[in-house]
Amino acid sequence: MTTATPHAIPDSGELNAIASATAAAVDANPAAAVAVFTAHAEPTGRVGSDIALGPYRVSVDEPPALGGEGSAPNPVEYYLAALLSCQVVTYRFWAQRLGIEIDSLNARAEGDLDVNGFFGLDETTRPGFQEVRVAVEISGPATEEQYRHLQEVVDQHCPVLDLTVSPTPVTTTLNVAD
Distance CA 98, CA 95 (A): 5
**pLDDT of 79-91, one tens digit each?**
999 999 999 999 9
Check whether 4 has a pLDDT greater than 50.
no
β-sheet with 56-60: strand ranges across: 40-44, 48-53, 56-60
The secondary structure of residue 31, as a DSSP letter, is G
Name 48's Cβ contacts closer than 8 Å, sequence gap at least 6.
59, 60, 61, 62, 68, 69, 71, 72
- Listed by start position, the domains of the chain span 37-72, 74-166
Contact between 54 and 114 under an 8 Å Cβ cutoff? The reply is no
Task: State the sign of the Cα–Cα–Cα–Cα dihedral 68, 116, 76, 49.
Answer: positive
Q: Model pTM greater than 0.85? A: yes
Mean pLDDT of the chain: 93
Q: For residue 148, what pLDDT is reported?
A: 98
Is domain 74-166 given the CATH code 3.50.50.60 in the classification?
Answer: no
**pLDDT of 134-171, one tens digit each?**
999 999 999 999 999 999 999 999 999 999 999 999 99
The secondary structure of residue 106, as a DSSP letter, is E
pLDDT band at 92; cut points 50, 70, 90: very high
